[in-house]
Amino acid sequence: MRLPEKGLDRKALFERLETYRERDVDWRSGRVFGYVFDPGAEAMEVGKEAYAMFLTENGLDFTSFPSLMSLENDLVGMARAHLGGDEAVVGNFTSGGTESIILAVKTARDYARATRPQVGEPEMILPVTAHAAFHKAAHYLGVKVVQTGVNPNSFRADVAEMRRAVGPRTILLVGSAPSYTHGVVDPIEQMGALAWEKGILLHVDACMGGFLLPYLRRLGEPVPPFDLSVPGVTSISMDLHKYAYTPKGASIILYRDKELRRHQIFACSRWTGYTMVNNTIQSSKSGGPMAAAWAVLQFIGDEGYLELARRKLEAVRHVAEGIEAIPDLSLLTRPDMPLVAFSSETLDVFHLIDEMNGRGWYIQPALSYENSPKHVHLSISASNVAWVDRFLEDLRACVDIVKKTPPMEPAAVVGAGAEGVDLGDLGDEEVSALMEAAGISGGGLPSRMAGINDVLDGLPPEVRERLLTAYTNNAFVPDPEED
Ligand SMILES: Cc1ncc(COP(=O)(O)O)c(C=O)c1O
């Protein structure tokens, strides 16, 4: 794109913006099981209005915008009470789960530097189900990941294996409440006891569950202890832009006390400009997401969230039973949250996803990793609830269709496209050959993704990562015709 010589009129530019959205998933339809947590029209409007009201306020400097500090302290106070924290607990508002997690890992690293300088190269212990954001944090911050396994039936972290993995360089243990993939809460009490005994930190990733799990418990669900009420938990992250239904750009990170949180804050006075002190990764940032989060929480309120939780609980039970009643499909495990993972031994679930997409649904593919097979993931939220019967009906019909398509043999797909490719030493040419085999060489994406996902599934994770990087590197290039 080039700047227009003269500014466009409002109508024309908004029309153009609208055309950009034409190929997006239709999240308003209620048929999209992920990405968007839609609280319904009224709460959405409240969020938008508050967002617009604080759009221009800048979180760079709380002395100039004390309004943002007050909103942030309100949100942290709410979160602390929600997650079993006492008055010593402090925290901050961040842009999302990933930022909260990166900050938790940075804090653990810098706390270890201050209190255990002999550690040298720090390590953190992650169950294989811990979110990819921890790997990103490790990559950015120079912390080594030590991965541990999960129980093959419940997919909960194996704490005995974590214990065996603890060494002199361990600075942090990680548990999920719940894991995104399987929707199960790890044995946080056991992890807390281990962290306490070894004198190391424990972060609970409650980005998905932190807001909802207390409501599910109030509805009688057997939610295991997972929050700051558990001894040994030293930090916890909770996203508001998921099951609290606030507009995106909203998460909370909490620490046991200020002594720990101190290591999160970055101050710099070694340059010629303004004095900089940041709680979070971003420096200049809009007040919009925070004001919107504050407003939506106030608008929906405790009773509103309890009712939303009740509806999701009914929906997830119904979906889980419906899937189990289809002989070709099976749940990977019984989830503690409205997150459903299912797979099949008789048909290719990636074809099933394509078939469902063709009928207007969005359901998410997940590749196999360690003892978790390739599967379909559903994050059920309020807007999906009214659609679960139709969903199951279409799922049954699509299973019947896909059963007639022979399952893809991933090794054969990869072999055909990647003959002679040395997977251990991938140069640009080898990456191009594999991308061609996967059907993604032309830049755009085919309407059916099963072939691509099957190729990726047949490759080792580091090769998948090379391909995904190459694909993304090619995709984000301005269109020369637009110049
Ligand atoms: C358990 C868990 N942790 C962290 C994240 C990352 O959150 P975000 O996408 O807001 O950065 C997610 C996202 O789905 C998640 O499910």
What is the best residue among 140, 207, 253 to mutate for testing ligand 1's pocket, by most ligand atoms within 8 Å of CB?
Answer: 207
Q: Is residue 300 over pLDDT 90?
A: yes
Ligand 1 pocket residue status of 175, Cβ below 6 Å: no
pLDDT digits (tens, 9 = 90+) for 98-129: 999 999 999 999 999 999 999 999 999 999 99
The topology (CATH level 3) of 50-295 is: Aspartate Aminotransferase; domain 2 (3.40.640)
User: Ligand 1 centroid to 133 CA: how many Å?
Assistant: 7
Distances from the Cα of 464 to the Cαs of 103, 366, 426, in angstroms?
A: 27, 13, 11
Strands (E), 95-250: 123-127, 144-148, 170-176, 201-205, 235-239
What does the pLDDT average to over 127-142?
A: 98
pLDDT for 335:
98
Ligand 1 pocket residue status of 254, Cβ below 6 Å: no
Ligand 1 pocket residue status of 181, Cβ below 6 Å: no
Q: For residues 125 and 148, give the distance between their C-alpha atoms in angstroms, rounded to a whole number.
A: 7
277: buried, middle or exposed (CB in 10 Å: 19+, 13-18, 0-12)? middle
Q: For residues 460 and 199, give the distance between their C-alpha atoms in angstroms, rounded to a whole number.
A: 35
Task: Please choose, from the candidates 409, 412, 410, 459, the residue with its C-alpha nearest in 3D space to the C-alpha of residue 434.
Answer: 459
pLDDT digits (tens, 9 = 90+) for 147-200: 999 999 999 999 999 999 999 999 999 999 999 999 999 999 999 999 999 999
Ligand 1 pocket residue status of 180, Cβ below 6 Å: yes
DSSP letters spanning 360-401: T-B-EEE--BTTB-SEEEEE--GGGGGGHHHHHHHHHHHHHH
Task: Please choose, from the candidates 408, 413, 326, the residue with its C-alpha nearest in 3D space to the C-alpha of residue 374.
Answer: 408
Q: Is residue 282 over pLDDT 90?
A: yes
Q: State the span(s) of the chain assigned CATH 3.40.640.10.
A: 50-295
Matching residue, tokens 């339809």: 29
Residue of the CA atom closest to atom 4 of ligand 1: 97
Half-sphere CA count of 391, side-chain side, radius 13 A: 25
Identify the bridge partners of residue 372 per DSSP, sorted by sequence position.
Answer: 369
Hey, what are 461's tokens?
A: 């994770």
Ligand 1 pocket residue status of 207, Cβ below 6 Å: yes
Ligand 1 pocket residue status of 131, Cβ below 6 Å: yes
131 Rama sector, left if φ>0, alpha if ψ -120 to 50, beta otherwise: beta
User: Ligand 1 centroid to 122 CA: how many Å?
Assistant: 23
